[in-house]
Amino acid sequence: MESSEFLAAKQRLMGEASPSSGADLGGMLMDFDCYLWHSPVIREVEVHRTGATNSLIAATCVSVSGRSEAEIAVGLEQVWLQDLSYRYFEAHMITLVEGRVQLDVITQIAPQDFYVTATILAETSRSYGAR
């Protein structure tokens, strides 16, 4: 999805619904942690709540050695679409920057119900090792 489309969808949904909280958000945090760890392109994961509705969840990952930014993007998108996003509505945007892949997401569980926003930032093992 293009940046402008994603941002418009995110702004619209955030204006119409409430952010996830409590046990629902806690469950999603656990899901992010579990499914990202099981991704074949990821070897390290850290997930936390941000307290900001614009990105309720932040996940930082390090990729498996030798994976390109494109491979990491495909792997993260697959986890998002198959395991993490709610079926009612989802939108996402991938940004590739040398050494990093950023996946920004929003999903809604049902009409007139809560949403979850998140940012997943995955560093390639090359960029992580260069620090």
Question: Average of pLDDT values for 38-63?
Answer: 96
pLDDT, tens only, 28-48: 999 999 999 999 999 999 999
**b/e 63-94 (16+ beta carbons within 10 angstroms → b):** bbeebebebbbebbbebbeeebbbeebbbbbb
pLDDT of residue 124: 85
Q: Please, what are the domains in the chain?
A: 3-123 (3.30.460)
Residue 6, classified by CB atoms within 10 Å of its CB into exposed (0-12), middle (13-18) or buried (19+), is middle
pLDDT of residue 1: 77
Question: Average of pLDDT values for 47-56?
Answer: 96
82, pLDDT greater than 60: yes
* Confidence band of 128 (pLDDT split at 50, 70, 90): low
Closest of 131, 130, 107, 129 to residue 118, by C-alpha: 107
